[in-house]
Chain A
Amino acid sequence: MKKLFALLMAALMVVTMFAGCGSAETPATDAAGGEAPATDAAPTAGTIKIGSSGPLTNDYAVYGKAVEYGLTLAFEEINALGGLQFELRVEDDEADAEMAVNAYNTLMDWGMQIMAGPTTSGSAAAAAAECAADGVFMLTPSASDAAVITAGDNVFQICFTDPNQGVGSADFISSHNLATKVGVIYDSSNPYSVGIYTKFMEQAAVVGLEVVAEEAFTADNKADLSTQVTKCQEAGCDLVFLPIYAAEAAQVLTCADKIDYNPAFFGCDGLDGILATEGFDPALAEGVMLLTPFDASSSDPQTQEFVANYTAKFGLEPNQFAADAYDVAYAIYQACTAAGVTADMSAEEICETMIAQFTSMSFDGLTGDGMTWAADGAVSKLPMAVKIENGVYVGVE
C-alpha cells in the first residue's frame, strides 16, 4: 500500500506542477487577451515594451541592480516628456545562461518589443542568439564580451568590448610611461577578465611593455589573494594591471597595503564602484587609475543631473553600469523617435528600423559623446582614464 500512497503523492505533485505551469502562463495570456490582434508581440495601449535581464539576486546583483535602476530612471524621465511611452520589465537571470533564456522567454510572453539587456556576458551570449533567431532588437548596456555581438546583426553593445579595453589599457600605460615592469592579476574563470587579459598581453608585446608577473585566481579561490600580490612584489612590478571586478580589486589593494607594497594600480571598467565596496577603506584606492566611460564626479551638467536624480531616487551613487543603462534607454528613445517607431509595430518591424538607425546615427550620452555603431554592433567611443584622488575620480589626459 506504500506504493499506492507513492502513486497518489506522485499524482498530486504532477497536478501541482501543472498548476504551477498554469499560473506562470496566466499573466501572459491575460496580457494577450487585453489586446486586439493576437500577434506574438502586441503591445498594450500605446507603450513600447522594453525588456531587460540581469543578476538581481546573487553575487553580481550590484551590477544587475545598477542596470535596472538606470533603465528605470531613464524611462521614467522619457515617459514624463510626453512623447513615446515605454514600459520596462526587468527579470532576474542570476548571471547564468540557462536562466537568461528563461528570463528572455518570460519577457517574450509578456510581449517585449526591444531587449535592453542582459547585464552580464554569459547571459547576453545566450539571449543574443535568441534575439537573433526571433528578430528582436537587442542593445546591451554592459555585456562587454566580443562574442556577444557575433550572434546576429541585430545585437548591439553600448559598452566597450573587452578586447578594446585590453588594447586601450596597454596603449595607455605605454604611452604615458607609467611602468617599466608590469604585473597582471586576473580571474581565469571569468570571461570578462580573461578577455581583457589576453588582448592586453598581445598589445603589451606590440608596444614593448615588459610583463614580469602573470598571476591568476578563479572564482572558487579568491578568498585570499595575498599570494598573487606577493608574487608581483617579488617580481619587482612597479605597476599592477587589474582586469577584474571591484570586490576582488579591493582585496588586492588591502593585501598590498598590508605588505607595504606600493606600485601603481591600473584597472578597467570593472573596477568602477571600488570606492563603494563594503568593508574596504577607500583611502587605499588613492592613486588607482582606471579606464571607465563614466565619472560620477564629473562637472558635466548632464552627468551631475543624472547623479543627483539617481541618488535621490535609489539612495546610492550610480556606477558605470547604471550610466550605461541610462544611455541605453536614451539611445533607444532617440532611435525610436527618429525612425517614427510606434507601439503597434511588431518586434521584427521595430528591429529592422532600429538596425538602420543605430548604424547611421550618432548619440551623445553620459558615457561618451558622438557614439556611433558599426554594422557588427560594436560601439565606437573614446576611452577615458581617471585617477582616484581624495576619494573622487579625476580625469587623466
Chain B
Amino acid sequence: MNKIKQYFKTHSYNIATYGIVIIAYVVMQYLSNADMLSRSVNGYLVPICAYIVLAVSLNLVVGISGELSLGHAGFMGVGAFAGIVTAACLQGVVDSDFGRLMAALLVGGVVAGIAGVIVGVPVLRLRGDYLAIVTLAFGEILKNIIGNLYIGKDETGIRVALSQAELHLGAGGKVILSGALGATGVQKLSTFFAGFLLILFTLFVVLNLINSKEGRAIKAVRDNRIAAESVGINVTAFRMKAFVVSAFLAGMAGALYGLNYSAVSASKFGFNTSIDILVFVVLGGMGNILGSVISATVLYVLPEAMRGLADYRMILYAVVLILVMLFTWSPKVKEIMSVVTAKLGGIFKKKEVGTNE
C-alpha cells in the first residue's frame, strides 16, 4: 500500500495530467454519442486536440528547453500538408480511413521532424532574442514555401511544381495542393478519438522525456548553460533533441488539423498562429504541461463562446487575456492563493496522519 501511495505521491502531477485528459475525453465522447452536444461544440473537439498537442510540444521548447521559438506554426503547416498529400495518395490503396489518418499523422510528423532538423542546425547556434527572430523567419519561410507549391497526383505518381501549368498532370490527374489557395476538397479523416490518442501519445513522449536523463540534461542547459557544459553535457545536441521532438509532434498535430477541414491554405500557418500557440503556453505556465492542456482548451473555446458579443468579441478576448495574465501574476493574488493552498494542504496532512494511525 505504502509503495503505491509513494508512487502516487511522486507521480501525482503526471497522473493528474493523464487523468484529466482521459476524463475529459470520456465525458465529451459520452455527451457527443448521446447527442447532447451542439454542432458547434462537436466541431471544436478536433481542433482543440490539435492545439493541445501544439501547445504541449511548444512547451517542450519554450518551457523545458528555455528557447523562445516563434515559428511553431511553420512545422504545423509542414505536417498538415504532408499529411494531406499522404492521405490523398493512399486513397484507394488503404481502405480504412483510420489507417490512412494514422499514416498521414506519422508522415506529417516525420516530415516536420526533418524540417526541424534543417531549421535547428543553424537556429540552435543562437540564443535568446536572436533565436526568437530566426525561428520567426524560418516559420515564415516554411509558410511561403508551402504557399508556392503545387502538388498533383496522376497515374505516373506524385508531381511537384511551382505553378499550376508546370504540373503537366496526365489524364485523370488530380491537383492536391495548389499554391496560395492551398488544398481544397480534402477528405475529412480526423476524428475526436484520433485526436485523443494523439494527445496521450504527446503527453507520454513529453512527460517521459522531461523525467528522463535527457530531460534533466535539457533542463540543466536551460538553467545554466556554462555549468551544464562544464559537467560534459553536449549543449547543442540536447537543445536539438528537444527542438526536433517538438517539431515532430507539431507536425502530427498539423496533420490532424489539416485533415479536419476540407480546405486548408498556407496563410493559416503564419506568425499569428505561432503567437496564438505561444499564448497558450505562457498562460498555462512555462514548463507546466497540464497548464498548456487546459489553457489551450479554454482559450480556444473562449472567443467562440463570446460569439454573442458580435463585433466586440475579439477586443474582449484580448482584454480577458490581459486580465488573466495580470491576475495570475499579481502578488496579492499569489499571497491569497498560497494561504488557501497552505490551509488546504493542512487538511490533507491531518487526514494523512489520521489514516496512517
Contacts and interface: CB of A to CB of B under 8 A. Distances in A.
B307 A92 contact: yes
Nearest to A201: B165
Q: How large is the interface on A (under 10, 10 to 19, 20 to 34, 35 or more residues)?
A: 35 or more
Contact of A57 (B41, B267, B311): B311
Interface in A13-63: 13-14, 16-17, 20-21, 23-25, 27-29, 56-57
B268 A96 contact: yes
A227 interface: no
Interface string B313-357: 110000000000000000000000100111011001000000000
B184 A125 contact: yes
Interface string B290-324: 11001101100110110110110110000000000
Given A97-B268, A219-B267, A91 B184 contact: no
| Most A-side CB within 10 Å, residue of B47, B268, B291, B294 | B294
A188 B147 contact: yes
Contact of B263 (A10, A97, A190): A97
Nearest to A94: B314
B264 interface: yes
B29 interface: no
Contact of B265 (A5, A191, A202): A191
Given A6-B290, A7-B16, A24 B180 contact: no
Interface residues of B, number: 63
A102 B44 contact: yes
A24 B307 contact: yes
Contacts of B298: 13, 16-17, 20
A250 B270 CA distance: 25
A337 B337 CA distance: 63
Interface stretch (B32-40, B84-92, B102-110, B126-134): B32-40
A92 B315 CA distance: 13
A25 B37 contact: yes
A10 B39 contact: no
B294 A13 contact: yes
A126 B262 contact: yes
A366 interface: no
Contact of A122 (B182, B290, B291, B313): B182
Contacts of B344: 1, 4-5, 8
A98 B268 contact: yes
Nearest to B349: A1
A151 B179 contact: no
B24 interface: yes
A129 B262 contact: yes
B30 to A, nearest CB: 13
| Most B-side CB within 10 Å, residue of A27, A108, A122, A128 | A122
Interface in A127-166: 128-130, 145, 147, 150-151
B307 A106 contact: yes
B181 interface: yes
B263 A125 contact: yes
A262 interface: no
7 contacts: A5-B341, A6-B13, A17-B294, A20-B305, A147-B181, A218-B147, A220-B270
Interface of B: 12-13, 16, 20, 24, 37-44, 47, 140, 144, 147-148, 163-165, 178-182, 184-185, 188, 257, 261-268, 270, 288, 290-291, 294-295, 297-298, 301-302, 304-305, 307-308, 310-311, 313-314, 337, 340-342, 344-345, 348
Given A98-B261, A219-B267, 5 more contacts: A1-B342, A7-B12, A8-B341, A122-B181, A130-B262
Interface of A: 1-8, 10, 13-14, 16-17, 20-21, 23-25, 27-29, 56-57, 91-92, 96-98, 101-102, 105-106, 108-109, 121-122, 125-126, 128-130, 145, 147, 150-151, 188-191, 193-195, 198, 202, 218-220
